Structure 1
Amino acid sequence: MIRNFFRHIGESLKNMKRNGWMTVAAVSSVMITLVLVGAFLSVIMNVSKLASGIENNVRIVAFTNLDIHDQSQKIVDPKDNAKQIENPNYKKIYDQISKVADIKTIKFSSREEQLKQLTETIPTYKLFKGDANPLYDAYIIEASTPGKVQSVAKNVGQISGINKVNYGGSNTKQIFAFAKAIRLWGLGGAILLLLVAIFLIQNTIRITIMSRQREIQIMRLVGAKNGYIRWPFFLEGAWVGLLGSIVPSVLMAWVYRVAFISFAPTLHTQQLTMYTPSEFIPMIVGIMVVIGVLIGSFGALLSMRRFLKI
């Protein structure tokens, strides 16, 4: 059994060498197809990751009324501005928010912190100081799941002392719909492209087998079983797929590194990330090698069916 297996491997390599140009044609077909498959999968996988990042970065911002100082233990005495008193409503709003269901995290952002962040982006806001600060204290809330954002925002908005709640509204719904569409259509597109790849490679390998139809007939005349005839062609198809995946793998590794270096800094400023080269390249290379070997070997088996019928 093992001896026959190694014999079939040797036969498959000899056949590839013997059918030089046909082998080159088959390998080239696999190569071109895998470049398209790799490029498509790279885009879909990273767009899906970015969509998930956008989806998961949706935050609820609850702005408090101007006269509310929820995080201040002491406040100015309304009767005497020179005197400070204990804040009777200290963390009252925070406690009510924390009781709302489906909340993951709550972070307080004072109007001063928001103004500082805003002036770093828009210098003209440096004009607003002290009482001229037009911003509100706010609680930045993260829901337990993206699907709970709307309900959490609605419940927080009903709390006394909350001026308004911002979570993106219809834009958030569009983001969720976009993320869902990317996953659905991306999966469908990948499957369709793989079917096209199998069809193209199967036909290319079929041409190489047709050129050796006489060889197959002779093997059958001397009593060779179908399984014995299939093995060299099966292994030859696997070799074709493996060889055809080398150049696309190297190309994808190089292109992805360049793309990551170009886009990563911009995406980082928006708290979004692509797959890092160290995690993505082994994954995409592995996928392309497996796809190449599978469609090459099984493409050979499918192409041989008509020649092995009695």
Structure 2
Amino acid sequence: MKARTIGRHFRESLKSLRRNNWMTFASVSAVTVTLLLVGVFMVIMMNLNELAVNIENDVEIKVIADPAADEAMVKELTDKVRATEGVLEVVYSSRDDELNKMIQSFGDELKLYQQSNPLGDALYVKAKNPQETVAIAKKIDTYEYTYEVEYGKGKVEKLFKVLNVSRNIGIALIIALLFTAMFLISNTIRITITARKREIEIMKLVGATNNFIRIPFVLEGIWLGVLGAILPMLIVSIAYYKLHAHWAPKLKAELFHLLDTMPFLLQLNGLLFVMGIVIGIWGSFMSVRKFLKV
């Protein structure tokens, strides 16, 4: 395509925005409102996902070695656990360390057991993928010299199920919002194009190709998407900066902490910008398609 033709398409798309200023305002408003909702919802979902990841990463397996096992047997068990597929980290804790932990938790009365420690050595195991914790725990439980494997049976499965359902609901809501935006802008642009139906028919009759007619409308959709994305990007960025500045120091020592402003906002704004363009292109493309059949 010649540069002159490309320039003509750009000029036509910009002229159309000015000529149909009320329709332009309606389309931009539809994209702005929807992307603002998407942006706010994504801030919430991505921070909740960070919380979910932190919770998952805190899940670990406690492998208690047989109290009758000697040092060589415990080493053999440790090596086997470390070699288990999906295991990220194994931390060894001697039976004396385990007893000291119990004394700290339950009181000095347990010091009586220091003379004859009934506990076994323990291994604290973390999985590369926390979702595989249960499967890894069951596998380790079959190993020789294993006395007991603790991982919060029943509770861990429910936790992972709740986290997965929450993530799926969040993704579904975001997709629903995007389809709503596409529907709104598609209908808005369709009204604009309907008013220019005769113009399209004349261009077709004089030999204009479908692409020649379609491109200005697609460019128009891109402008609408870009204009509609600017305000949500600004609002979400400013609001999140203020939210982060206020709450991040207070949540520093907690399990839940807000995502750092950078690169989070850069990624989020880039995503909103691309969404705006895609929504505009899709809406324009779908709207003009039926009018090209003369």
Query: TM (normalized to structure 1)?
Result: 0.74
Contact 1:111/1:133 (8 A) holds in 2: no
The answer as to whether partners of 2:77 and 2:145 remain within 8 angstroms in 1 is no
Going from structure 1 to structure 2, the CA distance change for 1:300 and 1:171 (only over 3 Å counts) comes to: same
Match of residue 180, structure 1, among 149, 153, 164 = 164
Whether contact under 8 Å (1:202, 1:299) holds in the other structure is yes
Q: Residue type of the partner of 1:288?
A: L
Post-superposition CA distance 1:11-61 (Å, at most 9, x none): 211221222222111111110111122223333344334333322331112
Q: How many Å apart are 1:194 and its aligned residue?
A: 2.0
Counterpart position of 2:111: 131
What root-mean-square deviation, in Å, do the aligned CA atoms of Structure 1 and Structure 2 show? 3.6
Q: Which runs of 5+ in 1 are unaligned?
A: 71-88, 119-124
Looking at structure 2, the residues matched to 161 and 3 of structure 1 have their Cα atoms a distance apart, in angstroms, of: 77
- Which residue matches 1:269? 254
Distance 2:169 2:91 in 1: 36
**Amino acid of the structure 2 residue aligned with 1:139:** L
1:13 aligns with 2:21: no
Q: Who is 1:146 aligned against?
A: 130
Between the aligned partners of 1:161 and 1:215, the Cα distance in structure 2 is 80
After superposition, the C-alpha distances for 1:220-278 in whole angstroms (9 at most, x for unaligned) are 565544332222221111101001000111122223334445268637633x6654321
1:169 aligns with 2:170: no
- 2:292 equivalent in structure 1: 308
The AA in structure 2 aligned to 1:56 is: N
Q: Extract unaligned runs of 5+ from structure 2.
A: none
- Rounded to whole Å, the distance in 1 between the matches of 2:219 and 2:104 is 62
Q: 1:258 to 1:175 in 2, by over 3 A?
A: farther
In structure 2, what is the equivalent of residue 296 of structure 1? 280
Q: Could you tell me the TM-score, scaled by structure 2's length? A: 0.78
Alignment-mate amino acid for residue 34 of structure 2? T
Structure 2: distance between partners of 1:27 and 1:292:
10
CA contact (8 A) 2:65 2:145 kept: no
The 3 A distance-change label for structure 1 pair 99 and 225 is closer
Report the CA distance shift for 1:222/1:258 in structure 2 as closer, same or farther (over 3 A).
same
Find the aligned partners of 2:113 and 2:228 in 1 and give their Cα distance. Answer: 64
Give 3-state SS (helix, strand or coil) of 1:142's partner.
strand
* Cα drift, residue 286 of structure 1: 1.4
Q: Note if 1:206 corresponds to 2:190.
A: yes
Partners of 1:54 and 1:175 within 8 A in 2 = no
Q: Map of 1:17-36 to 2, 5 A cutoff?
A: 17-36=18-37
My pick for the range that moved more, 141-150 or 10-19, is 141-150
Alignment size in residue pairs? 281
Paired position in structure 1 for 2:77:
96
For 1:160 and 1:99, how far apart are their aligned partners in 2?
A: 11
Pick the structure with greater CA Rg. 1
Q: CA deviation at 1:107?
A: 1.6
User: Alpha carbons of 1:116 and 1:277: their partners in 2 closer, same or farther (altered >3 Å)?
Assistant: farther
Residue identity over aligned pairs, in percent, reads 35
